[in-house]
Structure 1
């Protein structure tokens, strides 16, 4: 037996104290979408700062462990070779579009965290490809993010909003106002080889400042 205390050996799991909910889509088939609960913790610091997340299909005691996600900064993502970049999806639309919510955080804490997530990238493998099966079946799926309006399964969004008592449309409006950017409109990937874009479908990938209506 080692000299480790019981509490010490649980540190890796206990670190996953951040909770937020969003939607993932299969990169090879964006019509396949899953509501995903993220339980995340920080690993490393400085140039190697990363969040590691355990992904579940619900916040309940019998939840299925769907897979894992790693989240890195935009700077770290840009340093990766193109062959690796194809595995990483942007969080920009998810944040500004209201797809990602952290309902157990205070309003200010959630806004601060989402501002941090805005330009980050995630690498997600769903090891339980079809959550409706009794056990994980088949090969892991590389998952992607929603990147523009009209892509989400509206039934999933309505169910999620009802479960957590939130309004995706209201969240979107508040974040546009607070963060000062228009919601990106980037098409879903045409193939698994597509490298993601954060803000625009083509040209320089930069944000469009939000312009308040004069009315």
Structure 2
């Protein structure tokens, strides 16, 4: 992964400063001839997904994302989702990431498909194991404001071939929602501590993690900070 290309792509989305590094356009010029869309600069992060209609059904999910720039409603990150990081990992789904401004323009009927990443970042659930600490900090500040639309097209990775209907995926949005055994497995694999990560990000970002309830049904609209009322963060960290 090329760090200049990574942050150039994030800059194209308009959510992080340029930092004096290369743009997605220049990266495309260098790499677009070699292998089509899959040769574009990408970044990797790991999180725990849950099915929107069954929050107890959860998955450790690896995201490999590249930027699609220049759309009329803003840029989009296109992510392929895998059940692991090895060469033989199963492709289990796709996710699209858009800015908060682009999300606000969506029709109300469309918004039920999109989830927030606020708790995943502040709660320590999202990690970017290939990045340096400073890169990860910059990256997570950007991701915290984005909305995602994800489908798992291989709903049960234990099956030999993909079977069943695709699952609409939701994000963990409050304490106590994650499967503790799954979280421990993820932490062990990447040698991290979710609770310590959360404490560090709360201090760095100056915000407490939200506590938004799991969706009641498929039509629940995602929220970033609160269950009701004005969906805005608190004014500062709790003492």
TM-score above 0.5, yes or no: yes
- The residue that corresponds to 1:203 in the other structure is 229
- The residue that corresponds to 1:86 in the other structure is 112
Deviations, residues 20-73 of structure 1 (Å, cap 9, x unaligned): 000111011111000000000111147421110000000012100000000000
Counting only pairs closer than 5 Å after superposition, residues 10-159 of structure 1 correspond to structure 2 as 10-15=35-40, 17-45=42-70, 47-159=73-185
* C-alpha distance in 2 between matches for 1:154 and 1:139: 27
Give the TM-score taking structure 1 as reference length. Answer: 0.93
CA shift, 1:98, in A, is: 0.5
SS at match of 2:59: strand
* C-alpha distance in 2 between matches for 1:11 and 1:188: 39
CA shift, 1:212, in A, is: 5.9
* C-alpha distance in 2 between matches for 1:97 and 1:105: 19
**Aligned residues of 1:180 and 1:209 also touching (Cα < 8 A):** no
* C-alpha distance in 2 between matches for 1:211 and 1:33: 29
Deviations, residues 82-119 of structure 1 (Å, cap 9, x unaligned): 11000001001101101100011000000000000111
Change (3 A) 1:16 1:127: farther
- The residue that corresponds to 1:173 in the other structure is 199
- Structure 1 segments unaligned to the other structure (5+ residues): 1-5
SS at match of 1:10: helix
SS at match of 2:154: coil
SS at match of 1:48: coil
CA shift, 1:16, in A, is: 5.0
Q: Kindly tell me the number of residue pairs found equivalent between the two proteins.
A: 208
